[in-house]
């Protein structure tokens, strides 16, 4: 490729905190890092969070990459790529100065100036700012800088293509429905092309309806029966199908996607308690998304008091389950004993790094606030006998620089579909209350 055809990609801090290996993702093109990005990474290098890990890994990678070279000169990148890398430390501006345009010298505007400098110095080449910060991309475009999102790990055209795990067949052959009711299974041949592994069906013919699941191990479609778990009875077809996946010992990885009030966390917790004798521990967690970008360490109190506001929704679900039993029921005593003996553990996600999770029923709530790498980190911790459940709403993102297409839950659903160890169900109908449904549907 001729030099003039090679693009220059300028990476923002948000890209590196999302994926420390992003620098290797641009094939034969060149990559530039504004020096302000290194300054910002230095502030992120301490801590237990994933972004802290990403910052440290990138700094180490960069140190190994340059060795004795100067960062202000183009340095060859590793691997088969013929691209080069450099740090932009000084600005060469003639005309547009982002710090003056926006009347602020903050790092974002210095990063824009780095892109403007590269444009001025490489007039025959295309310079592109890559950022997961939408506001920064818009500012760049206002200064005539081409700007793009970092698309690695992004599920494109999510609205049309995200796997739901469910097919509704309105005009199913009546004989197949009868056979499912009588024998419990029917051969795959009656369903046409082979579906994804552990795919769910709602099969209808007039007033007749049956729920079913395709088992890739037997290549049969089996009827799914409604069942209650630990005092919780499913209120709709999707919840019934979700319970079948959560209770299947052969399915080791389950994802549930749906709006608030569809019962995702409640079902996962109830199924975990129903199978409490089959697992050494029930571990429930959710990512901590602090307000004002401050780590929870700045809050007063011990670790428990810091975490309580973030973990309260999990305790609320456990309280709802306890409410299904009479006060003198021994089940209540067993639940309390499980909490006291840490048979049930609620903890922030950051504390699992380095652990081996063997024979654990592991629930990750609000998984849409994780990056694809964080999801991979969790699953890679799984030991023998462990089952992992991810729940969340991909349209309700609270983490900066993630969206409905780039979050870890969407990525997992898209990449894992079809694997015999994996099952997914999208819960559509809210069951929390009529008022909650109004909020989801109309507001």
Spell out the per-residue pLDDT of the chain, length 443, in tens. Answer: 677 788 999 999 999 998 898 998 898 899 999 999 999 999 998 877 778 888 999 999 888 887 777 888 888 886 555 789 999 998 988 878 999 999 998 999 999 999 999 999 999 999 999 999 999 999 999 999 999 999 876 676 555 578 999 999 888 888 888 989 999 999 887 767 788 889 999 999 888 899 999 998 888 999 999 999 998 999 999 999 999 999 999 999 999 999 888 999 999 999 999 999 999 999 998 887 654 444 555 445 555 555 566 678 888 888 888 888 887 788 888 888 888 888 998 877 776 666 778 999 999 999 999 989 889 989 998 999 999 999 999 999 888 788 888 899 999 999 999 999 999 999 988 777 777 777 767 76
Q: Which pLDDT value is given to residue 298? A: 47
The pair phi, psi for residue 257, each rounded to 5°, is -120, 135
* pTM of this prediction exceeds 0.85: no
Kindly state whether residue 397 falls inside one of the protein's structural domains: yes
Q: Are residues 259 and 303 in the same domain?
A: yes
Instruction: Out of 84, 118, 148, pick the residue that ends a domain.
Output: 148
Residue 439 CB contacts under 8 Å (≥ 6 apart), including other chains: none
Q: Are residues 124 and 19 in the same domain?
A: yes
The CATH number covering residue 233 comes to 3.40.50.300
Instruction: Out of 148, 177, 207, pick the residue that ends a domain.
Output: 148
Tabulate helix, strand, coil % of the chain (nearest 5): 40, 20, 40
Q: Are residues 126 and 191 in the same domain?
A: no
Q: Are residues 120 and 220 in the same domain?
A: no
**Lookup result for tokens 């295309």:** 126
Q: Which pLDDT value is given to residue 398? A: 85
- Decide the pairing of beta strands 281-285 and 360-364: parallel
CB 123 within 8 A of CB 1: no
Q: Are residues 199 and 309 in the same domain?
A: yes
Give SS3 for 79: coil
CB 365 within 8 A of CB 286: yes
Single out the residue of 109, 148, 108 nearest to residue 127, CA to CA.
148
Kindly state whether residue 307 falls inside one of the protein's structural domains: yes
Q: Are residues 347 and 426 in the same domain?
A: yes
Kindly state whether residue 153 falls inside one of the protein's structural domains: no
Residue 108 CB contacts under 8 Å (≥ 6 apart), including other chains: 133, 136, 139
Strands of 235-353 (E only): list them.
Answer: 253-258, 281-285, 344-346
Q: Are residues 228 and 364 in the same domain?
A: yes
Instruction: Enter the tokens of residue 443.
Output: 């507001």
Q: Which pLDDT value is given to residue 288? A: 73
CB 257 within 8 A of CB 392: yes
CB 19 within 8 A of CB 74: no
Q: Which pLDDT value is given to residue 253? A: 98
The CA distance from 130 to 29, in Å, is: 13
Question: Which residues span the domain enclosing 201?
Answer: 158-442
Q: Which helix (H) or strand (E) holds 392?
A: strand 387-392
**Lookup result for tokens 């299947």:** 248
The CATH number covering residue 30 comes to 3.40.50.1010
The CA distance from 98 to 104, in Å, is: 8
Instruction: Enter the tokens of residue 218.
Output: 């037997």
Q: Which helix (H) or strand (E) holds 387?
A: strand 387-392
Kindly state whether residue 94 falls inside one of the protein's structural domains: yes
Give 137-140 contacts, CB < 8 A, sequence gap 24+: 139/98, 139/102, 139/108, 139/109, 139/112, 140/112, 140/115
Instruction: Enter the tokens of residue 280.
Output: 């050494």
Single out the residue of 400, 398, 91 nearest to residue 260, CA to CA.
398
Q: Which helix (H) or strand (E) holds 331?
A: helix 330-340
Q: Which pLDDT value is given to residue 271? A: 96
Query: CA angle 192-198-204, nearest 5°?
Result: 55
Q: Are residues 101 and 52 in the same domain?
A: yes
In sequence order, what DSSP letters do the residues of 211-264 get, joined into one string? EEEEETTTTEEEE-----BTTB---SHHHHHHHHHHT-TT--EEEEEE-TTS-H
User: Could you tell me how far CA 352 lies from the centroid of its own chain?
Assistant: 16
Q: Are residues 58 and 175 in the same domain?
A: no
- Total residues found in the chain within this entry: 443
Q: Are residues 168 and 143 in the same domain?
A: no
Domain tally, the chain: 2
Q: Are residues 141 and 163 in the same domain?
A: no
Q: Are residues 63 and 179 in the same domain?
A: no
Give SS3 for 373: helix
Kindly state whether residue 219 falls inside one of the protein's structural domains: yes
Instruction: Out of 148, 181, 203, pick the residue that ends a domain.
Output: 148
């Amino acid at each position: 490729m001729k030099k003039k055809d090679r693009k220059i990609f300028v990476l923002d801090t948000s890209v590196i905190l999302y994926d420390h290996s992003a620098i290797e993702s641009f094939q034969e093109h060149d990559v530039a890092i504004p020096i302000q990005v290194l300054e910002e990474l230095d502030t992120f290098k301490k801590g237990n969070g994933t972004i802290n890990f990403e910052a440290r890994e990138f700094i180490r990678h960069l140190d190994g990459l340059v060795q004795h070279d100067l960062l202000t000169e183009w340095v060859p990148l590793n691997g088969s790529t013929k691209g080069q890398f450099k740090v932009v430390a000084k600005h060469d501006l003639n005309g547009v100065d982002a710090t003056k345009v926006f009347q602020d010298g903050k790092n974002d505007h210095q990063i824009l100036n780095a892109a403007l400098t590269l444009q001025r110095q490489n007039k025959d080449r295309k310079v592109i700012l890559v950022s997961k910060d939408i506001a920064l991309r818009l500012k760049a475009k206002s200064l005539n800088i081409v700007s793009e999102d970092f698309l690695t790990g992004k599920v494109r055209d999510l609205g049309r293509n995200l796997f739901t795990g469910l097919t509704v067949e309105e005009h199913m052959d009546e004989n197949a429905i009868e056979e499912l009711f009588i024998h419990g299974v029917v051969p795959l041949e009656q369903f046409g092309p082979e579906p994804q592994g552990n795919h769910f069906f709602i099969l209808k013919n007039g007033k007749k309806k049956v729920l079913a699941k395709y088992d890739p191990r037997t290549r049969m479609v089996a009827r799914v029966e409604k069942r209650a778990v630990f005092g919780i009875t499913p209120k709709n077809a999707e919840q019934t199908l979700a319970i079948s996946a959560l209770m299947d010992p052969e399915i080791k990885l389950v994802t549930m996607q749906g709006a608030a009030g569809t019962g995702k966390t409640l079902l996962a917790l109830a199924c975990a308690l129903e199978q409490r004798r089959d697992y050494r521990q029930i571990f429930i967690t959710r990512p901590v998304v602090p307000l004002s970008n401050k780590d929870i360490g700045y809050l007063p109190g011990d670790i428990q008091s810091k975490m309580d506001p973030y973990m309260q929704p999990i305790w609320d679900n456990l309280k709802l389950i306890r409410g299904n039993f009479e006060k003198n029921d021994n089940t209540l005593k067993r639940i309390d004993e499980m909490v006291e003996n840490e048979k049930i553990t609620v903890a922030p996600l950051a504390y699992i790094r380095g652990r081996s999770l063997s024979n654990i029923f592991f629930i990750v709530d609000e998984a849409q606030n994780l990056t694809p790498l964080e999801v991979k980190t969790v699953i890679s911790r799984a030991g023998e006998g462990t089952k992992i459940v991810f729940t969340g709403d991909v349209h309700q993102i609270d983490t900066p620089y993630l969206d409905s297409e780039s979050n870890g839950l969407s990525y997992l659903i898209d990449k894992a579909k079809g694997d015999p160890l994996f099952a997914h169900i999208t819960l559509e109908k809210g069951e929390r209350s009529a008022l909650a449904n109004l909020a989801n549907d109309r507001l």
